[in-house]
Amino acid sequence: MSLTLWCPLAMEARAARRGIRGEAKVVCTGMGPDRSRRVEPENGAVAVVGMGGAVVDGIEPGDVVVATEVSADDVVSIGLPQAEAVAKGLSDAGFTVHTGPVASVSKLAVGPRRQELAYKGAVAVDMESAWLLENHRGPAAVVRVVTDTPTRELRTAAAPARIYRALRTIRRLTPVLTREVG
């Protein structure tokens, strides 16, 4: 089965393309709910791959979050049964991996909004996954590399270095995804 990687940002898509092995394609979907809802559903397996933010303590910049489910205020929770297998494959490949629910939001979640999402059960946040997957019916995974945390938000001088590190991690993890999802 062929895998399609949905990467919201062009820089995430470039990083994923550099790491591709085998029969997989990369689609730059665009950022946010509006662009995500315009993406045509795929018939095969998909993995949403990109950067995200942690909303709970214990997850550090550079760590990988594999979503067990995704949701948004206007999207019912979507379960991702392949999460444990994907997380194990990434962990076995040497990545620091966390699993749990990922909340999709329409704008960056900072300060109290992160706390609210954590209270609702999320471990991480992104701006696309729930909307990308709401009409997808095949195998799917959501893999986010953490760039910011509740105590280390993106509005610091360290943000560019964390983004660069996340892009390197995306490049390194895509071969694992082609084995585990595709």
CATH number of the domain that residue 106 is part of: 3.40.50.1580
Phi, psi angle pair for 76, to nearest 5°? -65, 145
Number of domains in the chain: 1
Task: Label residue 93 by pLDDT band (50, 70, 90).
Answer: very high
Taking residues 32-52, report their average pLDDT.
Answer: 92
The pLDDT of residue 158 is 67
Q: Which domain holds residue 47?
A: 3-180
Task: Label residue 47 by pLDDT band (50, 70, 90).
Answer: very high
Helix (H) / strand (E) element for 59: namely none
* pLDDT tens digit sequence for 135-170: 998 899 999 999 998 887 776 666 788 899 999 999
**Cα separation, 142 vs 102, whole angstroms:** 9
The pLDDT of residue 152 is 76
* pLDDT tens digit sequence for 19-29: 887 678 999 99
Residue (of 27, 21, 24, 46) closest to 175 by Cα position: 21
